[in-house]
Amino acid sequence: MSQEILAPSLGIEHPTVKGVIRIANEVLKEGRVLNIEYLYRRAKRELKIPREGLLTIIQYLVNKKIIINGSKFTKDTILDNDIRSIVYNFIQQNIGLHFSAIKRNIVKFLKGDQIGVGQLIWHLEMLLKFNLIKSFELGNHTIFIPVEIDETIAKIYYLARNSVRNKILRHLIEIERTTRPLIAEVIQENRENVYYHIKILIEHDCIINLNKELLLNPKLREEIIEVIRELTLNQELNYKEK
């Protein structure tokens, strides 16, 4: 069956196709909103090609997905990106993590898929910008938390994720009042290390020093219990309800 040779086939190297792409880029650089109607009118004016030919080119660009939807992101569409959705869900389920911890865990979770630091920070900034998460500084770290979580609670989560601090808090939940040497002895950790973490917990109002006795801050006791219970699901927590 003989082939009719129609017009030379369109391709990305076709000069008019390149012309249309160039015009689209110019429009975007000018900061204008680009839509089909404007692109068509401008391309027709500048390239002076017949209407049918230009429409064919636009059809080609749409079909080859060179022209794509350009609607601005909204809160509803921001999570359409799979990796961003994973990051968001991870932060939702792991409150009080700082950036390095998020990075380490996300990379582990994604296994074969590579995600660079830049892309991860991009997604975090997107989630921040659209008010899905928030961040605060704690020491040298930036902590990322779901927007609905209170910062004080998030701080407890962050502090309690350290294994030594976790043991200290757990012990204080069970014993209520004790001294620094006793804590170090019971939790069987290096004394200096324990004293260092106790100092941090005091600085962040999780525990208070009352005549050399340490106890949980009564204002945060319930929250601390809740956090410790959640972080250490496999360990029973023995304490008296107040």
Partner 1 sequence: MLLRLNLNPIVPFDMTLGTLVLIALFIIITTPKTKKIYHLIFIKLGILGISLFYFFEAFSYLFLSDILAIISGISLFPTTVLILIGVNYIMREEVNTFSLVSIFCLGVILCIVAFFPDAIVIDIVDRFIMIELGGWFKVIAELFHIIFIGIVGYWGIITWANAPFLIKKEAKLFLIATSFMVARVLINLMVYLNPIWILGVQILFATGVIMLTLVITNEPKILFIFPFTLNRILVRDKNGYPLFDQDWSKSKINEQVFTGFLNAIQLMSDEVVNLGGLLDIDLKEGILMIHESRYVSVGLVSSHSSKFLRNSLTHFIEDFEEMFEQLLKQGVTDPKKYESAYLLIEKYFANFPIRLIEDIKENILLEANYLEIPKSLEQKLKSATINQEELNLLKSELLKTPTGFTTEFLNLYDKLTREDDEESNPID
**In the complex, least distance from residue 12 CB atom to partner 1, rounded to whole angstroms:** 8
Q: How far apart are CA 83 and CA 194, in angstroms?
A: 38
Q: Which is nearer to partner 1, 11 or 181 (CB)?
A: 11
**Cβ pair 20, 36 in contact under 8 A:** no
Of 77 and 152, the one with the shorter C-beta distance to partner 1 is 77
- Please state the closest distance from residue 57 (CB atom) to partner 1, in A: 11
Which strand ranges, in their side-by-side order, compose the sheet holding 133-138?
97-98, 141-146, 133-138
CB of 3 to partner 1, least distance (A): 7
- The smaller minimum CB distance to partner 1, of residues 104 and 219, is found at 104
The residues of the shown chain that bind partner 1, judged by CB under 8 A, are 1, 3-6, 9-11, 21, 24-25, 28-29, 33-37, 39-40, 51, 55, 58-60, 62-63, 65-73, 81, 97-101, 103-105, 114-119, 121-122, 124-126, 128-129, 140-142, 161-164, 166, 231-232
Q: Considering the complex, state which of residue 96 and residue 207 has its C-beta at the smaller distance from partner 1.
A: 96
Nearer of residues 55 and 175 to partner 1, judged by Cβ: 55
| Shortest distance in whole angstroms from residue 61 CB to partner 1 | 8
Give a three-class secondary structure readout of 97-163.
Answer: EEHHHHHHHHHHHHCCCCCCHHHHHHHHHHHHHCCCEEEEEECCEEEEEECCCCHHHHHHHHHHCCH
Residues forming beta bridges with residue 146, ordered by sequence position: 133
**What Å distances lie between residue 11 and 3, 47, 48, 61, CA to CA?**
19, 17, 19, 9
Shortest Å, Cβ 163 to partner 1: 6
